[in-house]
């Protein structure tokens, strides 16, 4: 019985796009169908290893052209599809890739890019065919079904008597029109080229009929003395099983794009052949741009896992640490049993060793890029730098040694991003610390009153912009034993001993005044001191070691009430301080208004709101009228 069914709305939309596609790379349809066929064989092969009822056969994918009928068929002896699977897999868009494709259609990406980016699997057949038949027999079942669609609204499904072990897809090619030549896909040469270009590494033989000359002497080649032979046209060695030196960069790029559905070449490819105690091959890629779903739940991290060339698992988390979530790739190990379960994988010592190795290789490659191709590294760091920073921050800085030299941060003096090593290199003679300012732009940083001394001494200052930066530095504590110092925290070690002592003495002498100010501000600050960092400015806000004011801001956004211990610093050399002293000597209560005004000023300098903006404004007005 033949049943006619209607495509689901979203499928129609996709089909409609394929039919009216002006995509210039229509040829990718063959890659898509062959890749489906190869997946189907993978599935069957995997089942046959664990289920004795499923026979293993000589796997192959057959591509046949019939010039008279203008059909192209792709036949595989893979797992096949049941009636329900034909409906669910081909009648609706269940598959996440195609669905995401559709979800993205309304955004601004041009159609061409999207097709290239995703490859749209089975539906791409409609770019070149106006009718598609899928004859399929699910392994282990006793029925065969034929799915037929002319692409528009409906498809039909009927049972069939035809014998087949797997799936046969027949494309009825469209008529040639203007420049659009569909006949070329029937051409032996084109088929061979396309298979080599897109599907060479497919692990099963892809065969097609190839013309052979009976009498090879030159000049005697006529139609009559040729015959056709079925020939395997792909090299079959998975690209990652080849020797590293044999694989060209273009090959790796093409493989990456096809396998991980990207339309751009990767930023970096890492090819690992390891032999010895631990034997495995790995191909790792850093996408040029974070994939659009990088941060969604759908983007599970993990590498594909193969063992002895057989596909085992799509996203093996245990192969890669969390902070390297953006790395795509695969690992093929020869030491793992085929039927290993997810639970066992977690415990597996081989997997752990491979993971450690893989991480090391990735970081080595990043180090290499940083050294040899700075602009490429900048590009990388813009998109993925945060990941490395989190890697450093995680586990109380356990990865410090392997990651610290991969971090770049903006430098005030150089006005570009530099590494800690480069900072160290340019440190001034008596400089004891690596200084940083956080949560400010370069311009803001330059104008901060607490910068004056650093500028005078020509000390460089790292400008931290990411919210993770300061947390990272706090976990790291130092770089090669040189401690990090926020220009806003603790003692900066900037004054020579004599000057520092002077300020200590002044602090002592003015204790009463400072205590009185502190008393006025007791809800807001934990200390009021004479500053060792101010040169021109009257006041600034700093915090005791530990949580900084910037960190407090960031934590607040995450609903944490952790507070920095704020310190109001006054410049003992500023006329304001002289004025305070004078007022305080005359009348101890006269300084209350000044205290809160000075604190508000310090808050504003820090980019914070005055405590009570209206009160602050009124007081300023009052002063202006005096």
- Smallest gap from Cβ 550 to ligand ADP, in A, equals 46
- In the complex with ligand ADP, which residue's Cβ is closer, 132 or 462? 132
- Smallest gap from Cβ 10 to ligand ADP, in A, equals 12
The CA distance from 306 to 303, in Å, is 10
Kindly tell me which residue out of 122, 201, 285, 599 binds ligand ADP, with binding defined by CB under 6 A.
Answer: 122
Question: DSSP code of 217?
Answer: S
Stretch that binds ligand ADP, among 92-100, 448-456, 589-597, 604-612 (CB under 6 A): 92-100
Kindly tell me which residue out of 121, 151, 287, 329 binds ligand ADP, with binding defined by CB under 6 A.
Answer: 121
- In the complex with ligand ADP, which residue's Cβ is closer, 94 or 398? 94
- In the complex with ligand ADP, which residue's Cβ is closer, 40 or 270? 40
**In which order are the strands placed within the sheet that holds 268-274?**
268-274, 280-286, 328-333, 303-307, 310-316
Q: Where are the beta strands (DSSP E) in 214-265?
A: 226-232
- In the complex with ligand ADP, which residue's Cβ is closer, 138 or 532? 138
Pairing outcome for strands 527-530 and 566-570? parallel
- In the complex with ligand ADP, which residue's Cβ is closer, 40 or 538? 40
Stretch that binds ligand ADP, among 32-40, 312-320, 341-349, 412-420 (CB under 6 A): 32-40
Query: Is 34 a residue that touches ligand ADP (CB under 6 A)?
Result: no
Stretch that binds ligand ADP, among 78-86, 178-186, 282-290, 613-621 (CB under 6 A): 78-86
- In the complex with ligand ADP, which residue's Cβ is closer, 92 or 573? 92
Number of residues that bind ligand ADP (CB under 6 A): 16
Stretch that binds ligand ADP, among 87-95, 323-331, 435-443, 446-454 (CB under 6 A): 87-95
Query: Is 91 a residue that touches ligand ADP (CB under 6 A)?
Result: no
- In the complex with ligand ADP, which residue's Cβ is closer, 261 or 369? 261
The CA distance from 377 to 388, in Å, is 13
Query: Is 76 a residue that touches ligand ADP (CB under 6 A)?
Result: yes
Token pair of 415, please? 């006005």
Kindly tell me which residue out of 81, 194, 268, 437 binds ligand ADP, with binding defined by CB under 6 A.
Answer: 81
The CA distance from 600 to 609, in Å, is 8
DSSP string, 5-23: EEPPHHHHHHHHHHHT---
Classify residue 232 by burial, with Cβ atoms within 10 Å: 0-12, 13-18, 19+: middle
Pairing outcome for strands 482-486 and 434-438? parallel
- Smallest gap from Cβ 136 to ligand ADP, in A, equals 7
- Smallest gap from Cβ 181 to ligand ADP, in A, equals 25
Query: Is 307 a residue that touches ligand ADP (CB under 6 A)?
Result: no
Classify residue 179 by burial, with Cβ atoms within 10 Å: 0-12, 13-18, 19+: exposed
- In the complex with ligand ADP, which residue's Cβ is closer, 79 or 549? 79
Binding residues for ligand ADP restricted to 577-616, rule: CB under 6 A: none
Helix pair 511-520, 575-586: axis angle to 10 deg: 90
Q: Where are the beta strands (DSSP E) in 433-548?
A: 434-438, 461-464, 478-479, 482-486, 527-530, 539-543
Tell me which residue has its CB nearest to ligand ADP: 121
Kindly tell me which residue out of 79, 125, 195, 448 binds ligand ADP, with binding defined by CB under 6 A.
Answer: 79
Q: How large is the C-alpha radius of gyration of the chain?
A: 34
- In the complex with ligand ADP, which residue's Cβ is closer, 137 or 399? 137
Stretch that binds ligand ADP, among 73-81, 195-203, 334-342, 496-504 (CB under 6 A): 73-81
- Smallest gap from Cβ 80 to ligand ADP, in A, equals 6
Kindly tell me which residue out of 11, 21, 82, 89 binds ligand ADP, with binding defined by CB under 6 A.
Answer: 89
The CA distance from 422 to 374, in Å, is 13
The CA distance from 625 to 61, in Å, is 91
Stretch that binds ligand ADP, among 35-43, 144-152, 174-182, 354-362 (CB under 6 A): 35-43
Query: Is 36 a residue that touches ligand ADP (CB under 6 A)?
Result: yes
Token pair of 592, please? 């209350």
- Smallest gap from Cβ 168 to ligand ADP, in A, equals 9
DSSP string, 58-107: ---EEEEEETTTTEEEEEE-SS---HHHIIIIIIS--SHHHHHHHHTTTS
Query: Is 314 a residue that touches ligand ADP (CB under 6 A)?
Result: no
Contact criterion met (CB below 8 Å) for 423 and 434 = yes
Distances (CA, A) of 479 to 434, 436, 455, 468, 610: 8, 13, 22, 17, 36
Kindly tell me which residue out of 30, 37, 239, 461 binds ligand ADP, with binding defined by CB under 6 A.
Answer: 37
Stretch that binds ligand ADP, among 91-99, 361-369, 385-393, 418-426 (CB under 6 A): 91-99
The CA distance from 328 to 272, in Å, is 14
Contact criterion met (CB below 8 Å) for 166 and 77 = yes
Kindly tell me which residue out of 21, 167, 350, 417 binds ligand ADP, with binding defined by CB under 6 A.
Answer: 167
- Smallest gap from Cβ 605 to ligand ADP, in A, equals 57
DSSP string, 476-492: H-EETTEEEEETTBS--
**Paired residues of 570 in beta bridges:** 530, 539
Q: Within the chain, what is the greatest distance between any pair of CA atoms?
A: 121
- Smallest gap from Cβ 35 to ligand ADP, in A, equals 7
Kindly tell me which residue out of 15, 30, 40, 272 binds ligand ADP, with binding defined by CB under 6 A.
Answer: 40
Kindly tell me which residue out of 55, 97, 546, 607 binds ligand ADP, with binding defined by CB under 6 A.
Answer: 97
Residues near ligand ADP, by CB under 6 A: 36-37, 40, 76, 78-81, 89-90, 95, 97-98, 121-122, 167
């Amino acid at each position: 019985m033949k049943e006619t069914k209607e495509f689901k709305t979203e499928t129609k939309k996709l089909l409609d796009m394929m039919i009216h596609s002006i995509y210039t790379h229509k040829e990718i349809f063959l890659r898509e169908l062959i890749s489906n066929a190869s997946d189907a064989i993978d599935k069957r092969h995997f089942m046959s290893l664990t289920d004795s009822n499923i026979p293993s056969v000589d796997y192959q994918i057959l591509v046949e052209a019939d010039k008279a009928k203008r059909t192209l068929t792709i036949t595989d002896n893979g797992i096949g599809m049941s009636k329900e699977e034909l409906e669910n897999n081909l009648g609706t868009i269940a598959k996440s890739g195609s669905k995401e494709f559709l979800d993205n259609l309304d955004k601004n990406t041009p159609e061409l890019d999207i097709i290239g980016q995703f490859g749209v699997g089975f539906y791409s057949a409609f770019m070149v065919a106006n009718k598609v038949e899928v004859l399929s027999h699910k392994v282990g079942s006793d029925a065969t079904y034929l799915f037929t669609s002319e692409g528009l609204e409906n498809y039909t499904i009927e049972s069939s008597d035809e014998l087949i072990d797997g799936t046969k897809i027949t494309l009825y090619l469209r008529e040639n029109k203007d420049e659009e030549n569909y006949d070329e896909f029937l051409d032996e040469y084109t088929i061979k080229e396309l298979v080599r270009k897109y599907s060479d590494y497919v692990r099963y033989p892809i065969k097609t009929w190839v013309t052979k000359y009976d009498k090879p002497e030159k000049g005697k080649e006529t139609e009559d003395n040729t015959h056709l032979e079925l020939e395997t046209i792909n090299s079959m060695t998975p690209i990652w099983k080849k020797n590293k030196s044999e694989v060209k960069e273009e090959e790796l790029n093409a493989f990456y794009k096809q396998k991980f559905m990207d339309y751009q070449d990767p930023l970096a490819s890492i090819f690992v052949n390891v032999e010895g105690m631990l034997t495995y091959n790995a191909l790792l890629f850093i996408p040029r741009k974070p994939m659009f779903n990088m941060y969604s739940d759908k983007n599970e991290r993990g590498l594909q896992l193969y063992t002895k060339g057989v596909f085992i698992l799509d996203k093996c988390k245990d192969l890669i640490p969390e902070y390297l979530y953006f790395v795509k790739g695969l690992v093929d190990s020869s030491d793992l049993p085929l039927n290993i379960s997810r639970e066992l994988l977690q415990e597996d010592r081989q997997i752990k060793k491979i993971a450690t190795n893989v991480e090391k290789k990735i970081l080595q490659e990043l180090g290499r890029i940083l050294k040899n191709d700075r602009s490429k590294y900048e590009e990388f760091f813009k998109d993925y730098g945060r990941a490395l920073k989190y890697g450093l921050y995680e586990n109380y800085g356990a990865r410090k040694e392997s990651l610290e030299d991969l971090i770049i941060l903006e430098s005030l003096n150089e006005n570009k991003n530099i590494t800690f090593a480069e900072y160290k290199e340019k440190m001034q003679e008596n400089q004891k610390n690596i200084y940083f300012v956080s949560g400010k732009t370069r311009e803001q940083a330059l104008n901060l009153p607490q910068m004056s001394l650093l500028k005078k001494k020509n000390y460089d200052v790292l400008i931290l912009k990411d919210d993770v930066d300061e947390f990272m530095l706090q976990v790291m504590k130092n770089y090669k034993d040189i401690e990090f110092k926020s220009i806003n925290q603790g003692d900066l070690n900037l004054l020579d001993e004599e000057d520092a002592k002077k300020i200590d003495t002044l602090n002592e002498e003015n204790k009463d005044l400072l205590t009185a100010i502190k008393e006025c501000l007791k809800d807001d600050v934990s200390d009021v001191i004479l500053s060792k960092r101010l040169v021109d400015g009257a006041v600034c806000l700093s915090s005791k070691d530990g949580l900084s004011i910037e960190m407090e801001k960031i934590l607040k956004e995450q609903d944490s009430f952790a507070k920095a211990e704020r310190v109001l610093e006054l410049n003992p050399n500023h006329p304001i301080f002289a004025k305070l002293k004078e007022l305080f000597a005359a009348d101890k209560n006269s300084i209350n208004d000044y205290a809160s005004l000075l604190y508000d000023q310090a808050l504003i300098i820090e980019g914070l709101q005055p405590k009570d903006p209206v009160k602050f404004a009124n007081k300023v007005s009052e002063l202006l009228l005096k």
